[in-house]
Amino acid sequence: MSGVSVCAFDAYGTLFDIKAVVDSSRAALGPKADALVDLWRRKQLEYSWLRSLMGRHSDFWHVTGESLDYAFKALDIDDASLRARLMESYLCPNAYPEAKATLQSLKTAGYKLAILSNGSPSMLTSATKAAGLDDLFDVILSVESVGIYKPHPTAYRLVTDHFECQPAGVAFLSSNGWDAAGGSAFGFQVVWVNRAGQPREVLPAAAHAEVSSLTALPELFRL
């Protein structure tokens, strides 16, 4: 992480536990709970990429709702109140247990901290406030300001434009392999937070470092 002055974090899956958004609804979902959260997330990503390719942008809240509707149909679930509860859960997802202490360590060490997310501004504001992380970030950057989703280079450029720095001065941290590749292709120094132990994506660029959780960052940054 030589020469880094800015740490930019992806939000969902990196700081916030997206699998936990169904926890309060597991009783209603029964054995379909895990299948729902997996399909919901997969369609959420697919729809964001497809909308970018189609030139038909819509904010992430809308995409999240469309993805949930698809998952409901695929799993034969028809419950309007359950849908409302699940959508509401995306506004206040649980932060991973180590997130706050890790962010505080980086901030104390003098790094500028940012979120760079596909999430809409209202979603990100709600999530960071609910988790008590909002005061730790210098800026929360949403792709909504440019109207195209990661991994398009325009999305990553939001960080360098805001901090008036070169890509190599940014450590980008994401739990998504495709996002790690996208950030690396843009020129960031990338840390892949590979929580699920997934193999590396076979793409033109790759992360510079790989960790299993945010607890490894203080050692990686030599704090």
Task: Flag whether 123 is in a domain.
Answer: yes
Residue 179 to residues 26, 68, 184, 223, Cα–Cα distance (Å): 29, 22, 8, 25
Task: Flag whether 124 is in a domain.
Answer: yes
CATH number at residue 60: 1.10.150.240
Q: How many residues in total does the chain contain? A: 223
Residue 23 belongs to what domain range? 18-89
- Relative to beta strand 6-9, strand 139-142 is unpaired
- Total of domains in the chain: 2
Picking from 60, 89, 118, the residue at the C-terminal end of a domain is 89
pLDDT at 51: 97
Model-level pTM?
0.95
The single residue of 10, 34, 78, 138 carrying the catalytic annotation is 10
Interval 2-47: pLDDT, tens? 899 999 999 999 999 999 999 989 999 999 999 999 999 999 999 9
Rounded distance between C-alpha atoms, residue 162 and residue 153, angstroms? 15
Is residue 79 located within the same domain as residue 42? yes
Is residue 74 located within the same domain as residue 178? no
Question: Is residue 1 over pLDDT 90?
Answer: no
Long-range residue pairs from 54-62, CB within 8 A, at least 24 positions apart, any chain: 57/147, 57/148, 57/149, 59/120, 59/144, 60/118, 60/119, 60/120, 60/123, 60/142, 60/143, 60/144, 61/120, 61/122, 61/123
In this structure, are residues 117 and 44 in contact, taking their beta carbons and an 8 Å threshold? no
Picking from 56, 72, 89, the residue at the C-terminal end of a domain is 89
Is residue 10 located within the same domain as residue 36? no
Is residue 72 located within the same domain as residue 12? no
Task: Flag whether 1 is in a domain.
Answer: no
Give the tokens for residue 58. Answer: 């819509």
Is residue 30 located within the same domain as residue 128? no
Interval 42-82: pLDDT, tens? 999 999 999 999 999 999 999 999 999 999 999 999 999 99
Is residue 58 located within the same domain as residue 147? no
Is residue 161 located within the same domain as residue 196? yes
> Mean pLDDT, the chain, as a whole number?
96
10 has catalytic annotation: yes
Is residue 129 located within the same domain as residue 25? no
Is residue 70 located within the same domain as residue 115? no
Task: Flag whether 97 is in a domain.
Answer: yes
Interval 77-123: pLDDT, tens? 999 999 999 999 999 999 999 999 999 999 999 999 999 999 999 99
Picking from 67, 89, 111, the residue at the C-terminal end of a domain is 89
Is residue 12 located within the same domain as residue 68? no
Alpha carbon 122 to its chain centroid, in Å, reads: 14
Is residue 79 located within the same domain as residue 98? no
Rounded distance between C-alpha atoms, residue 35 and residue 37, angstroms? 6
Task: Flag whether 75 is in a domain.
Answer: yes
What element of type H or E holds 202? none
Is residue 119 located within the same domain as residue 46? no
Rounded distance between C-alpha atoms, residue 41 and residue 43, angstroms? 6
CATH number at residue 110: 3.40.50.1000
Cα-Cα-Cα-Cα torsion 58, 61, 107, 171, nearest 10 degrees, comes to: -40
SS (H, E, C) 27-52: HHHHHHHHHHHHHHHHHHHHHHHHHH
Residue type, 95: A
Alpha carbon 125 to its chain centroid, in Å, reads: 13
Task: Flag whether 37 is in a domain.
Answer: yes
Interval 121-162: pLDDT, tens? 999 999 999 999 999 999 999 999 999 999 999 999 999 999
